[in-house]
Amino acid sequence: MKIFITSAVAAATLFTGSLAYAQDDFSGQLKARQGQFRIMAINLGILGDMAKGETEYNAVAAQAAADTLVAVSMIQQAPMWPEGSDEMSIDGTRAQTTIWEQTDDFQSKWADFGSAAEAMQASAASGQDALGPLMGQVGGACKACHDDHRAPAD
């Protein structure tokens, strides 16, 4: 019995220690937020190629891409952006500390992306001519956030 209790206490100590490490690691959060940005980039690429005439316009594909952008915009961001997951604290991210220092601005810019995505969703299936101005709105929302909250590439 004494060995069992000692083993249980040792296991609990190790488990608690590994939880503390996992909380400071942020690898899951980093992968999640980078994944959402990859999804956005793929779908913006589909729409952008259609807008530029590099890919034949397809109303169904345009609508699906726009729907996906709206879906991504609705993902709750807070769990993916824990304080301390910035580019000065961990490798593999360009997130600046301004995200946490200016939370309202960051959240406002994410909401602006959502509004631009909704505008794209409302008109994406109406023809190639509608895509260009809408791409400008979405791109502008992305740029505004990157300008203030993303570190330059090395």
Spans in the chain with pLDDT lower than 70: 1-24
Quote the number of domains for the chain: 1
What gap in Å lies between CA 57 and CA 121, rounded to an integer?
15
Q: What is the pLDDT of residue 64?
A: 98
Q: What is the pLDDT of residue 3?
A: 59
What's the pTM value of the predicted model, to 2 decimals? 0.83
Residue 130 domain-assigned (yes or no) = yes
- Collect all residues with Cβ–Cβ distance below 8 Å to 39 and sequence separation of at least 6: 68, 72
- Domain span at 49: 26-149
Q: What is the pLDDT of residue 72?
A: 98
Residue 13 domain-assigned (yes or no) = no
pLDDT tens column, 11-56: 444 444 433 334 468 999 999 999 999 999 999 999 999 999 999 9
CB atoms within 10 A of CB 39: 15
- Which residues face 150 on adjacent strands? 95
Q: Give the domain CATH number at 76.
A: 1.20.120.10
Residue 79 domain-assigned (yes or no) = yes
Residue 4 domain-assigned (yes or no) = no
For 95, the 3-state DSSP assignment is: strand
- Give the mean pLDDT of the chain: 89
Residue 21 domain-assigned (yes or no) = no
Residue 94 domain-assigned (yes or no) = yes
Q: What is the pLDDT of residue 154?
A: 81
Residue 12 domain-assigned (yes or no) = no
On whether the CB atoms of residues 84 and 99 are closer than 8 A, the answer is: no
Residue 154 domain-assigned (yes or no) = no
